[in-house]
Structure 1
Amino acid sequence: MRPMLASKGTHVPSGDAWTHEVKWDGVRILADVRAGSGRARLLTRNGNDASVAWPDVVTSPLADRDVLVDGEIIGLNDAGLPDFGVLQERMHVRSAVTAARLADRVPATFMVFDLLRLDGDDLTGLPLDERRERLQELELDASWQVPSAYDDGQMLFEATLQQGLEGIVSKKRTSRYTFDTRSPHWIKLAHRHRHSFVVGGWRPQEGTSDRLASVLVGEPGPGGLLYRGRVGSGIGAAASRLLSELVAPLTIAESPFADEVPRVDAVGTHWVQPSVVVDVDAHSRAPVSRLRQPSFRGVRSDIGPEDLL
């Protein structure tokens, strides 16, 4: 079971047929609560069970009611804004003790924007407006919250830009929910020049042989993985350890990139199988041939290289 995804848009759709929401910079989650349990099974975008990582979200505010909802887990940075980067340390935790400690330090909130099942009834065939109405009636609170929806998409787009939020998602009011699809009836428009890339190699810190300091990233295309640049900014000690653990078993002898990697980047690089996806901020709009001033933002354990095609 995987969530319905939005398609990339080029402009804010207008008219009464559309409703508009904030695009949250967090971790997409389907929360499945079976009748009588009171606890959610938290499924990531690629169908993995991440319940252990989010002890502050896993308890349902609806007690023992049967419910399936779609939403985004967010954490706030020092500026009070949702930031995917602050969740990095929490996303990959598999220890309940560690997860509880991190939840105290980096509390999470589950922004619930769709209701897919309630008390055993499948609601996915209903129009979005009706699903949203039923969701509002649940009066969620505490760690589960229902974000507002807006009629004026252009106003929301400009407001989120000014406030430093990631962007907006525009949805057709009549849209039904279809699992594991990318719908043309949901349109996402992001403000930040953030892109997802696949790691094809890594370079150690100067003077060391094993301390990961930068990664070489590429973009999947019809002809293979196309080189887009080297990313070192933003890789601190914690990120270096995480990336090192992920790429350690992926070592290969030759470059996985289909095109030529500049010698200045290739010399001293350890090549890896292209399976780890990372988010990168850059002064570049997609599509790009080379990233300008890229900065590492985090590992995307919720998607794979095939999702970038």
Structure 2
Amino acid sequence: MRPMLATPAPAPPPGPAWVHEIKWDGMRILADVRGGRVTLWSRNEKDVTASFPELAALAETYEDLLLDGEVVAFDAGRPSFAALAERMHVADRRKAERLSSTRPITFMIFDLLRLFEQDLRAHAWSARRELLERLDLTGTHWQVPPTYADGRQLLAATAEQDLEGLVSKRRGAAYYPGRRSSDWLKVSHRQVVSAVVGGWRPETGNAARLGAVLLGRPGPEGWRYAGRMGSGLAGKPGTAMADLLAPLGRRDSPFTDEVPALDAKDVTWVEPRVVVDVRFLGETGGGRLRHPTFVGVRSDLTADDLAQA
């Protein structure tokens, strides 16, 4: 099952019909607890249980429940996607267990979808939330963060604390798996977008090293070229990116529009399968990202997820 998704909005909606939560800069997870074990599913339905062994103890809480939330890694007291990247790509459980002592994660639980074999998705958010709070799910590596009635105040507070933003939820809303619904609205302080990598260029003076990548975003006819990104890819991130792209080579551009000759110089085209998060300073009139900076690889998203969003 895929999780319900929020629709971007310019500001939180007013009024008592809505409730507001902090938007965590992490990885969306569904935690399925049943039969004395926990299975963790990513947003694109990939089993990521081995990546987060800290959450195995959720099996000791209740016999049967399905939780929705965000896995977060903190750095200097704030959620950091860069810090989480050290954990989310680890598929070896032993390595993940070693990392858990130096880079622990916290599961921010914000929804309850099943309890004691009863499907709760058709129930109103307010009813699901009441049940979730009554479960008293508080542990070393998981918590149920609070909700807030005043969206404007929360938006200001998250800006002051340099947090990602907020999510507003309609109190009477049911849960729609895999759908981007206007019953959930997200307001972000930072301009961060997910894009695919459609090609890479070598580092100046070193043809063997990756220096920049060419980005694509969904368009009406396929992947639209969104600009060249080199910032944030120096050192280990660039090496890791090169390893991901190495088996994806192709002869021609995956973009539906023309890539400027300056950007396409010495490029190696690749199948648009690797999804990355990019921080940027706005867009040009042609839809190119201004000053894009690499944030991290999104192993929890596929190119199809972006195309269908």
TM-score by length of 1: 0.94
Partner SS for 1:265: helix
The structure 2 residue matched to 1:120, chosen from 117, 121, 145, is 117
Q: Distance in 1 between matches of 2:245 and 2:268?
A: 10
Cα distance in 1 for residues equivalent to 2:146 and 2:285: 32
Report the secondary structure of 2:61's partner residue: coil
Alignment of 1:1-20 (within 5 A): 1-20=1-20
Superposition pairs for residues 148-163 of structure 1, below 5 Å? 148-163=146-161
Q: In structure 1, how many angstroms separate the alpha carbons of the residues matched to 2:150 and 2:61? A: 35
Within 2, Cα distance between the matches of 1:41 and 1:112? 15
- The answer to whether the Cα contact below 8 Å between 1:73 and 1:108 also exists between their aligned partners in 2 is yes
Amino acid across the alignment from 2:61: A
| Residue of structure 2 equivalent to 1:105 | 102
Structure 2 Cα separation of the partners of residues 224 and 244 of structure 1: 24
Name the CA distance, whole Å, in 2 between partners of 1:193 and 1:288: 17
Output the CA distance in 1 between the equivalents of 2:284 and 2:189: 12
The corresponding residue for 2:128 is 131
- SS of equivalent to 2:74: coil
Measured in 2, the distance between the counterparts of 1:296 and 1:229 equals 12
2:306 alignment partner in structure 1: 308
* Alpha-carbon distance change, 5 to 138 in structure 1, aligned in 2, over 3 angstroms: same
Deviation of 1:118 (Å) = 1.2
Unaligned runs of 5+ in 2: none
**CA displacement, residues 131-158 of structure 1 (integer Å, 9 cap, x when unaligned):** 1111111111221100110010111111
Q: Is the aligned partner of 1:89 residue 2:70?
A: no
2:145 maps to what in 1?
Answer: 147
1:168 aligned partner, one-letter code: L
Count of residues in Structure 1 that have an aligned counterpart in Structure 2: 306
CA contact (8 A) 1:57 1:108 kept: no
> Relative to 1, partners in 2 of residues 1:88 and 1:258: Cα closer, same or farther, differing over 3 Å?
same
CA contact under 8 A between 1:218 and 1:226: conserved in structure 2?
yes
**C-alpha spacing 1:158/1:202, structure 2 compared with 1 (3 Å):** same
Pick closer, same or farther for the CA change 1:285–1:254 going to 2, 3 Å: closer
Name the residue aligned to 2:23: 23
Judge conservation of contact 2:284–2:290 (CA < 8 Å) in 1.
no
Instruction: State whether residues 198 and 214 of structure 2, in contact with CA within 8 Å, keep that contact through their aligned partners in structure 1.
Output: yes
CA positional deviation for 1:224: 2.2
Deviation at 1:304, TM superposition (A): 2.0
Deviates more, 1:240-249 or 1:294-303: 240-249
Mapped contact 2:44–2:305 kept (Cα < 8 A): no
2:215 counterpart SS class: strand
Partner letter of residue 176 of structure 2?
T
Q: Which has a greater percent of strand?
A: 2
Q: Secondary structure at the match of 1:298?
A: strand
RMSD, aligned CA: 1.7
Structure 1 position 88, deviation (Å):
1.0
Q: 3-state SS of the aligned residue for 2:79? A: coil
- Partner-residue secondary structure (3-state), 1:220: strand
Secondary structure at 1:57 match in 2: helix
Q: For residue 280 of structure 2, what is the aligned residue in structure 1?
A: 282
Return the alpha-carbon distance in structure 1 between the equivalents of residues 288 and 182 of structure 2.
Answer: 29
Q: Does the 8 Å CA contact 2:283/2:290 hold for their aligned counterparts?
A: no
2:45 paired residue number: 47
Give how far 1:280 is off.
0.4
- The TM-score, its normalising length taken from structure 2, stands at 0.94
Partner of 2:270: 272
What is the alpha-carbon distance in structure 1 between the residues aligned to residue 155 and residue 285 of structure 2?
A: 22
Percent identity between the two aligned chains? 48
- Cα distance, 1:307 vs. partner? 2.6
Q: Tell me what 2:64 maps to.
A: 66
Shift in Å at residue 89 of structure 1? Answer: 2.0
CA shift for structure 1 position 237: 2.9
Seen in structure 2, the aligned counterparts of structure 1 residues 155 and 288 have a Cα distance that, compared at 3 Å, is farther
- Structure 2 CA distance for partners of 1:275 and 1:209, relative to 1, 3 Å: same
Instruction: Evaluate the alpha carbon distance shift between residue 285 and residue 132 of structure 1 in structure 2; reply closer, same or farther with a 3 A threshold.
Output: farther
- Partners of 1:231 and 1:295 within 8 A in 2: yes
Q: Which of the numbers 250, 253, 257 marks the counterpart of 1:252?
A: 250
The SS at the match of 1:58 is: helix
Q: Distance in 2 between matches of 1:146 and 1:308?
A: 29
Supply the distance in 1 between the matched residues of 2:86 and 2:210 (Cα, whole angstroms).
17
Change (3 A) 1:32 1:286: farther
Displacement of 1:287 after TM fit?
8.7
Q: Hey, what's the Cα distance between the residues in 2 that align with 1:286 and 1:66?
A: 50
